[in-house]
Amino acid sequence: MKLFYADHFVLPLPPGHRFPMEKYARLRERLAASGHFGANDFHVPAAASDTEILRAHDAGYLQRIVRGTLDAHEARRIGFPWSEAMVERSRRSAGATLAACRAALDSGCAANLAGGTHHAFRDRGEGFCVFNDAAIAALTLRAEGRVERIAIIDCDVHQGNGTAAILAKRPDCFTFSIHGARNYPFEKETSDLDVELPDGTGDVGYLDALDEALIPVFASQPRLVIYLAGADPFEDDRLGRLKLTKAGLAARDELVLSECRRRNLPVAIAMAGGYARQIDDTVSIHAATIETARRVFTSASTSPENPPLPPPATPRTPRELAKQQHRAPTETEPGASAPGPFSRSGGAAGRKCRALPVCASARRLGANVCPPPPRAPRRPRPPAPPMQRTARAPARAGKIVHVRDRRAAAGRKAAP
Ligand SMILES: [Zn+2]
């Protein structure tokens, strides 16, 4: 698995600056020390060229960045003092996501050990974001004809407002953001799919909402996913408000990545935000994302360099564990008369177990099925009319605030 990292990512900042810049170098060190990645796995990305950047940004904005002629308001909105190193860092970070996309198309999965600068708009930067790496990568790959459609799965706690705005008129780029409703930006843009979650949502509510939201994301029929695996939904993050545990974040990664793997969908990962009180927590969360990707994307490989990994001896993702903790006993278990929030009466047929091996509850039922799911079985939803906001049933923990169906706008048939 290729990991893209450049020393340029660590931008020298004035003392006391609140951005945890050192996390990038520490992440690289952590992964190098893990024993799972060799020197050959780390690659220095090329800087994004003007041509590539201009696919997502205005020429005037690029010029102001390169020449250092941003006005005070523009510079303050970005949050980093201008320097040539800042320009180079921004180019390298965008170049790393583009390189990770190319590598993912070749080998299944790759990662930028920085990136996820999703608050950068076409004509401005904000929130520590100068160039929008995901938009630059997506538009460059489209311009080169390397992929037909791309989905951006943005799990940073902040909405991917810049990405949504830049790609608003691109039916070939599906933008999905799941974020804290009360987190910055306070005026949200409209992605193809936004899921806003209330403060303190926690693991189970988050994963349930994400699980449901991935249905329309994959229905957009992407051929490449760019996954922003922000560490800032973490419970001890200084900025995030969603209160996920590390186990919950690992389960989030497992869900997104295994669903992509199951569909043979290449994934390029960018780290995005992370502002935990202890920087080591942020580094651990990012490292866990990369470890999960390595495991998920090598476990089914048959190549000699990547022999298949054995399935975990004990089950399952923390998500399933969390659900089991909240699940009522089945009819075959003691205490079946005390339903919990995830119980469903009626004994409907179970669904095929998505965990390998099947979960303990399924084994207790003596079949390759999980207990009845906590909500009605998935079914494809009909496409919305072009550019129409569609009211949807609220998800269990959050609510899907709007869906703008650009596939219909483009006259394409909705995927099943
Ligand atoms: Zn963030």
- The alpha carbon of 180 and the centre of ligand 1 are apart by a number of angstroms equal to 10
- The alpha carbon of 281 and the centre of ligand 1 are apart by a number of angstroms equal to 15
- The alpha carbon of 302 and the centre of ligand 1 are apart by a number of angstroms equal to 36
Provide CB contacts within 8 A for 410, sequence distance 6+: 171, 172
Joined tokens for residue 351 = 């669904």
End-to-end CA distance of the chain: 31
- Is the pLDDT assigned to residue 313 strictly greater than 90? no
- The alpha carbon of 274 and the centre of ligand 1 are apart by a number of angstroms equal to 6
330 neighbors 364 (Cβ within 8 angstroms):
yes
More confident residue, 14 or 371: 14
- The alpha carbon of 230 and the centre of ligand 1 are apart by a number of angstroms equal to 6
97 neighbors 134 (Cβ within 8 angstroms):
yes
Q: Give the number of other Cβ atoms within 10 Å of residue 15's Cβ.
A: 4
- Is the pLDDT assigned to residue 408 strictly greater than 90? no
52 neighbors 98 (Cβ within 8 angstroms):
yes
Q: How far is CA 344 from the centre of its chain?
A: 30
Q: How confident is the model at residue 3 (pLDDT cuts 50, 70, 90)?
A: very high
- The alpha carbon of 171 and the centre of ligand 1 are apart by a number of angstroms equal to 25
Q: How confident is the model at residue 18 (pLDDT cuts 50, 70, 90)?
A: confident
Provide CB contacts within 8 A for 1, sequence distance 6+: 37, 41, 107, 109, 110, 111, 290, 293, 294, 297, 298
- The alpha carbon of 39 and the centre of ligand 1 are apart by a number of angstroms equal to 29
- Is the pLDDT assigned to residue 176 strictly greater than 90? yes
- Is the pLDDT assigned to residue 47 strictly greater than 70? yes
- The alpha carbon of 184 and the centre of ligand 1 are apart by a number of angstroms equal to 8
Q: How confident is the model at residue 299 (pLDDT cuts 50, 70, 90)?
A: confident
Q: Give the number of other Cβ atoms within 10 Å of residue 116's Cβ.
A: 29
pLDDT at 383: 52
356 neighbors 258 (Cβ within 8 angstroms):
no
- The alpha carbon of 373 and the centre of ligand 1 are apart by a number of angstroms equal to 31
- Is the pLDDT assigned to residue 109 strictly greater than 60? yes
Q: For domain 2-298, is the CATH number 3.40.800.20?
A: yes
Q: Helix (H, G, I), strand (E, B), or coil: what is residue 292?
A: helix
- The alpha carbon of 158 and the centre of ligand 1 are apart by a number of angstroms equal to 4
Joined tokens for residue 319 = 């998500």
- Is the pLDDT assigned to residue 351 strictly greater than 50? no
Joined tokens for residue 138 = 């997506």
Q: How confident is the model at residue 364 (pLDDT cuts 50, 70, 90)?
A: very low
- Which residues keep their CB under 5 angstroms from ion ligand 1? 156, 158, 230, 232, 273
Q: Give per-residue burial for 350-377: e unless 16+ CB within 10 Å, then b.
A: beebbbeebbebbeebeeebbbbebeee
User: How far apart are alpha carbons 79 and 120 in whole angstroms?
Assistant: 12
- The alpha carbon of 301 and the centre of ligand 1 are apart by a number of angstroms equal to 33
User: How far apart are alpha carbons 127 and 165 in whole angstroms?
Assistant: 15
| Nearest residue to 100 (alpha-carbon basis) of 134, 139, 128 | 134
Q: Give the number of other Cβ atoms within 10 Å of residue 264's Cβ.
A: 9
What percent of the chain lies above the pLDDT cut of 90? 69
- The alpha carbon of 321 and the centre of ligand 1 are apart by a number of angstroms equal to 27
pLDDT at 305: 43
- Is the pLDDT assigned to residue 194 strictly greater than 60? yes
User: How far apart are alpha carbons 304 and 301 in whole angstroms?
Assistant: 9
Instruction: Pick the range with the lowest mean pLDDT from 50-54, 198-202, 266-270, 381-385.
Output: 381-385
- The alpha carbon of 196 and the centre of ligand 1 are apart by a number of angstroms equal to 14
Going from N- to C-terminal start, the domains of the chain cover 2-298
- The alpha carbon of 156 and the centre of ligand 1 are apart by a number of angstroms equal to 5
- The alpha carbon of 229 and the centre of ligand 1 are apart by a number of angstroms equal to 10
- The alpha carbon of 345 and the centre of ligand 1 are apart by a number of angstroms equal to 39
- The alpha carbon of 273 and the centre of ligand 1 are apart by a number of angstroms equal to 4
What would you report as the CA-atom Rg of the chain, rounded to the nearest whole angstrom? 21
Joined tokens for residue 362 = 């399924």
Q: What is the mean pLDDT of the chain?
A: 80
Q: Give per-residue burial for 126-161: e unless 16+ CB within 10 Å, then b.
A: bbbbbbbbbbbbbbbbbeeeebebbbbbbbbbbbbb
- The alpha carbon of 386 and the centre of ligand 1 are apart by a number of angstroms equal to 30
- Is the pLDDT assigned to residue 323 strictly greater than 70? no
Q: How confident is the model at residue 16 (pLDDT cuts 50, 70, 90)?
A: confident
- The alpha carbon of 258 and the centre of ligand 1 are apart by a number of angstroms equal to 23
Joined tokens for residue 83 = 């320097």
pLDDT at 380: 53
Mean pLDDT of all residues in 97-122: 98
- The alpha carbon of 371 and the centre of ligand 1 are apart by a number of angstroms equal to 35
pLDDT at 17: 87
Burial of 338 (0-12, 13-18, 19+ CB in 10 A): exposed
Mean pLDDT of all residues in 220-226: 98
